[in-house]
Amino acid sequence: MTPIFHLLHLCLALNLFLLDQVKPDPDPLQDYCVANPKPALSFYTNGAPCIDPALARSSHFSTSVLAMPGDTKANPFGFNVTLTNTLNLPGLNTMGLTMARVDIEANGLVPPHSHPRASEVIICLEGSVLVGFVDTSARLFTQKLRVGESFIFPKGLIHFIYNMDSMSPALAVSGMNSQNPGAQVGSVAMFKSKPLIPDEVLKGAFQINGQDIARIRRNLGGSLF
């Protein structure tokens, strides 16, 4: 066996091992694990610790948080995402899912972003929205959604939601297959990181000058999700 073949064989074996470790949220080992926001002991865990199952109530599995419109004026893009989590929906803990309400004002935009730990399905409830994602070969998939229509964003891929209507707001809800999907907005990650990415890197990556960088940073807010 030649050295290069041996190296390729080793790399292949390593990749297969790593792929086996890339899994969705683990399945629960019991009927439910209602989140305990104030555990008696301080420790780190992959998810929230559980309360005594005997103390579980119907209210732990219900929430009205998605019934309330979000503030679309809080960021320069004109959108708001309201997420369920183990604080407003404790019964969500260990279920491997998250729900979100997406309010978008007229001509508002949920800017290109990704969820590193989840795939997402979105359904339009009011108005109409243009949605799309870009795959790893830079191929764009887009669709205009009307009320009742759905679209899927594959795990980890950059996607967006745009309200093309200049007069009326839009409303959508989405579901993601992770208790903690994470969200990284491309523009915020590039121009508002802490500490900041060096200007020379951004100039080269986006083919812009220092004044452009300063203007973009000035116009962007902080974390949007």
Per-residue pLDDT tens listing for the chain (225 residues): 555 545 555 554 544 454 455 456 777 657 778 888 776 656 666 678 899 999 999 999 999 999 999 999 999 999 999 999 999 999 999 999 999 999 999 999 999 999 999 999 999 999 999 999 999 999 999 999 999 999 999 999 999 999 999 999 999 999 999 999 999 999 999 999 999 999 999 999 999 999 999 999 999 865 555
- Return the pLDDT at 24: 66
- Note the pLDDT of residue 19: 44
The answer, as to whether pTM is greater than 0.75, is yes
What would the CATH number be for the domain defined by 25-182? Answer: 2.60.120.10
Neighbours of 47 (CB within 10 A): 18
**3-state SS string over the chain?**
CCHHHHHHHHHHHHHHHHHHHCCCCCCCCCCCCCECCCCCCCCCCCCCCECCHHHCCHHHHCCCHHHCCCCCCCCCCCEEEEECCCCCCHHHCCCCCEEEEEEECCCCEEEEEECCCCCEEEEEEECCEEEEEECCCCCEEEEEECCCCEEEECCCCEEEEECCCCCCCEEEEEEECCCCCCCEEHHHHHHCCCCCCCHHHHHHHHCCCHHHHHHHHHHCCCCCC
Question: What backbone phi and psi angles, to 5 degrees, belong to 59?
Answer: -65, -20
pLDDT of 32 reads 76
